[in-house]
Structure 1
């Protein structure tokens, strides 16, 4: 429920501005602040509950009665026929991302061991080698685009190796992912949803063929594990193809945005950039602060599977809950001076990877890639600086850059 005395209409207008504006470099944070101040627990006229405080978002993520259905349909996208909305992400909805126990448990169990901290740690040498090879390409360049030359190829290469995707196919398949996730944006229009349908069809055709090859000649990779699973772990065709798409998409989309958003934040705060260059041992906590400061994933959704509550807010079965994770990450009740980047911050964990049953499976891998990348980049190119304005991608849910030009400077 919205607190008594709240101007609900005014708060809903702020919410619409937050959801539908292309925020660019400034981000949605001023709008989040206004919404937290006016209605940190907003129930809209359509019945959508919107949470923007850290503690409420955290509690909702951990509440087992708040599960996954298809919260994107709850936005009631204007001008998009319902049958087209349901065709978009059809196979994606068969994955752990949109499933609840026991299906979620079964689907996650099959791949979870690959993303444990211990297994991810074993990948460190190969990740370091890949980072150094990419940075070798910066040497002698006047200008490089961090997004196309580093932030994208690094995680695409890492997840491609884990899955067993041939090198020659990775650059073709990656752009389809950007089109695929468009319906998860509140601002998605008819063209974006149709593009997502087409992108999923292309990805499904590709992974269907690749999984068939893995069944014929299995290798030591994750797609072979999916393709050859038997017994209780065996997936039906849509689950198998959808999971392959999900693992590929999740393996780079968040990490790409973490690298881009993080470097943009550091370039905008030269003192913090110098601090990390001079104290590379701060890399791990620095990644946590960069995740908090400008989260690569700004929103999440849940649906009440039964009557439940968050704090003193009653939530009816079937009600959709929108969690503004990026707003929670800037909550002044939890973070001192939340709009300031402070790599030495030791406060609550960021909400950026979600929480509870649906905590991001690839979070340890994303953290490792970023923690290895930033110190190496700043040490190798100590005079790195902006080479022009950054270009931000449209949308709120997945916040990231399209282009980030920098001068590497002399090594």
Structure 2
């Protein structure tokens, strides 16, 4: 078997395998060693080193489209492709300038440093409330008790999403984003189409209500935009759904993956317990060590050269963020979890103009949560085997049983 064929087979294993607690990191290491710049048989360029991933995500000759379809790993009817996520594709996540600039400008100040700082007290209130609920039990599932409800309610407050709507909307988001996995099949894309229709109906009614009775929340801002900021209906609904999804999906995985890593490394957990001032650095290291988002795709818009490879418009570039975060050319002992690591600076939120809008909010939630969690519960320990979600792009847990008493 040639080196190229072997690397292609390894990539398919990375994309299609359920990696569980160990994650895809051993396979990433093999890919970096054998073929860190891999051109697949279908013309997809796969990058696994930090510098190459960063350069690609910053390259303005690359942009957004539906990169997951470029892998052609499963047969999906064209009509179903068009139906699924058709509103979601009108959002900034899939747009390039000038539309990306217009859509992002409307909401960006809600996620800037000053506004995130103003949200800190309400985030702490939610954390304390959820930790109080946990204290009444012996064992809890951290995902359902903490990792999901905390960011769902924080972003729900910011958006002005009624409290009673949040829990029901969250699982629909999981179905909606499934096609972002390169391995998504027709069944997953069909579920995504159904989920988007349900979410669009609900958010559309809510936005109509916000237009009639605007309040001081982000949905009211979207619904009431005027002039150059006014949104078409699909853009407005899609952006509302995107903000809700982005507000909890990454943070839920950060909390779950982060605590799972700390439980596997009790000395690091004790380090955080003894030195709560390490919280900001600890969150960066947890994001690096087991990234909530493992991949980020781009489509070539103009002829360019990436990592020495000449590319033409329409080709797909896949950056393996989780691999970049373990690149030995970037980090000393990258496979080790070290909350005192100097400037972890992970690639977990992407790079370039599509850098995650909610990164500061996610970081702040983690910085406030982790020290409180390990301080409040002195005997945190596993209470059973964790269950990991399938897929690679979004790496997270379905359940994380933990003993708190």
Q: TM-score, normalised by structure 1?
A: 0.97
Contact 1:334 1:347 in 2 (8 A): no
Number of the residue aligned with 2:45: 49
Q: How does 1:13-52 map to 2 (within 5 A)?
A: 13-52=9-48
Distance 2:176 2:312 in 1: 31
**2:270 is matched with which residue: 268, 274, 282?**
274
Contact 1:91 1:238 in 2 (8 A): yes
Number of the residue aligned with 1:174: 170
Q: How does 1:326-341 map to 2 (within 5 A)?
A: 326-341=322-337
**CA offset at residue 86 of structure 1?**
2.4
Number of the residue aligned with 1:248: 244
Distance 1:126 1:22 in 2: 37
Q: How does 1:2-401 map to 2 (within 5 A)?
A: 7-401=3-397
What are the ranges of 5 or more consecutive residues in structure 2 without an aligned counterpart? Answer: none
Deviations 1:15-62 (A, max 9, x none): 000000000001000111111111100001111000000100011111
Q: TM-score, normalised by structure 2?
A: 0.99
SS at match of 1:187: coil
**CA offset at residue 140 of structure 1?**
3.3
Cα–Cα, structure 1 residues 264 and 348, in superposed 2: closer, same or farther, change >3 Å?
closer
Contact 1:335 1:347 in 2 (8 A): no
**CA offset at residue 78 of structure 1?**
1.3
Distance 1:138 1:48 in 2: 46
**CA offset at residue 117 of structure 1?**
0.9
**CA offset at residue 213 of structure 1?**
0.1
SS at match of 2:107: helix
Distance 1:313 1:186 in 2: 22
Contact 1:115 1:362 in 2 (8 A): yes
**CA offset at residue 348 of structure 1?**
4.9
Deviations 1:380-403 (A, max 9, x none): 001111101100011100000000
